[in-house]
Chain A
Amino acid sequence: MSGSIDNVVEVHDLTVRYGRGERAVTAVDGVSFGARAGQVTAVLGPNGAGKTSTIEVCEGLRRRTSGQVRVLGLDPGGSRRDRRALAHRTGLMLQEGGVYPSARPIDVVRQHCGIHGVADPNTPRTLIDLVGLTDRARTSWRRLSGGEKQRLSLALALVGTPDVVFLDEPTSGVDVNGRDTIRGIIRSLTERGCGVVLATHELDEAERIADRVVIFDKGKVLVEGTLDDVRKARQAVRLRTLRPLVLADVPSSISDWLVEVEPGHYTIEDAPQGLVAALAVWLSEHGIDVIELRAGLSSLEDVFKRLTGGAS
């Protein structure tokens, strides 16, 4: 598999199957996508879509049934040398857990810094401060709130200045302030060129921070692209009128673009500059009763619902 150097993660035709024989379950079914350095790639999909299985294969925590995976050009399921090199250069956040309940945040961050060979003795403190746990540094894990646990897990993902970071549902159970902190940290990661792969089922969260999105459903990738591409893939203009238009009366400069979903409901995809304005003028000049005229990118949720048949 050859790929551009910019791709920090390349997944090609990945399949992950659990169990054997008749009880076998295919969690990931021939998935391909890429993630780039300096960008946030959001892996979206309902629970059970295969997001976590895919990410865990990339992290080297899960065996794949078939397909190829490269992270920073190395194979996370490959030789001991590849896996060791990746362990030094990747950071990750599990969906849950990962810390002993009686352990204290500052001690856990110190432990991980030691394991990664981080020489600067101030790093653990800096990371604790960065994720906003300064006042909770000596509170045992089991007494932290859900959001504080997530932020500690994020701090562990940052240990060793990784080149690629995998985050599995990083904002689940996190309050508004915590979300701001986490978004700020993710932004600073991409600013220094780190690639971030983020699995989430929260579409509005992805909409806020993702550069690229990969939409999963039932173990397959439905669509992959930049956030803008995916959002405007369909229905950039939506028009609903009280009575159906007589399309023959509409000037061809407009009607050529109109797609009739059903009588009285029309869409325009990839509308050229000025078309929406021309449409609005024409509608008004001809006294047509408009129920809705909306232009702009469709929300990720609209796209997602259409693709997955309503599941969210």
Chain B
Amino acid sequence: MSGPLRAQLGAELRILSRNGEQLLLTIVIPVLVLVFFGITDVLPSSFDDHMDFLTPGVIALAIMSSSMVSLGIATGFERGYQVLKRLGATPLGRPRWLLAKILTVLVVEIVQVVVLVPIALGLDWKADDTSWVLALAAVVLGTFAFGGLGLLIAGRLRAEINLAAQNGLYIVLLLLGGMVIPFDELPGPLADVSPYLPSGALADVMRDTLVGTSTQASTSWIVLASWALAAPVLAALTFRWE
């Protein structure tokens, strides 16, 4: 890893670790959701084992929180406080800046998986039909889809409005996304739309790879891949550095 990239990655991780709300969003909330619904088994899923429904959904939620909300909020404030402008005058360059951002999200995701999977296993998740390699591919696609969305929003809105928008979208997608609420429990039109949202597609693909059961696996893979392509491209085309 080059010196400038290492310096930037170090700075990104240091800032992340000094922001308590980021920790709350990316680690504490997914853990609480997993533990609460893991113990209570009140979610109305049609799965025989409720952990088979819950675990992939919570991992999808965690991916969304780190790659969209956490990345998006931090980037929005960096725009607002002219951090991006200042870095633009250093030898860092935009490719290395972006790479540092991606690596930062990756580090957070590794921590999330390392925390969440053992908790799920502790709550009697069997993981007996899991394809870890495909699950990794799903995480990568989900990261690009949500990362693109986060930067798309952060690249245009003022920092405070961006903060509200990222959190608002997070709640909406959490409720609509098939992450903790099954698609068929949603009211009619929403049930039709939500499998095509990045959240619904990622949750479905995570279920396909982690427990071998899904609503529409091949369609969800295509939907997720499309978001993973379109969102970053749109973000790149519309992003304003200051």
Contacts and interface: CB of A to CB of B under 8 A. Distances in A.
Contacts, number: 79
Q: Which of B11, B19, B88, B91 has the most CB of A within 10 A?
A: B91
Contacts of B92: 115
Given A107-B14, A114-B10, A117-B91, A100 B86 contact: no
Contacts of B81: 97-101
Q: How large is the interface on A (under 10, 10 to 19, 20 to 34, 35 or more residues)?
A: 20 to 34
B87 to A, nearest CB: 8
A153 to B, nearest CB: 8
Nearest to A153: B86
A15 B84 CA distance: 25
B184 interface: no
B83 interface: yes
B39 to A, nearest CB: 35
Interface residues of B, number: 25
Given A94-B82, A101-B81, A115 B14 contact: no
B189 interface: no
Interface string A76-120: 000000001001101010101111111100011011111111000
A60 interface: yes
Contacts of A169: none
A156 interface: yes
Contact of A88 (B11, B83, B91): B91
Provide the main secondary structure of the chain B interface. helix
Contacts of A92: 89
A114 B77 CA distance: 22
A119 to B, nearest CB: 9
A49 B10 CA distance: 39
A217 interface: no
B7 interface: yes
Given A97-B83, A102-B18, A117-B3, A59 B8 contact: no
B4 A98 contact: no
Interface of A: 59-61, 84, 87-88, 90, 92, 94, 96-103, 107-108, 110-117, 140, 156
Interface of B: 3-4, 6-8, 10-11, 14-15, 18-19, 77-78, 81-83, 85-93
16 contacts: A60-B88, A84-B91, A96-B82, A98-B82, A98-B83, A102-B18, A102-B19, A103-B15, A110-B7, A111-B7, A113-B7, A114-B3, A114-B6, A115-B3, A116-B91, A117-B3
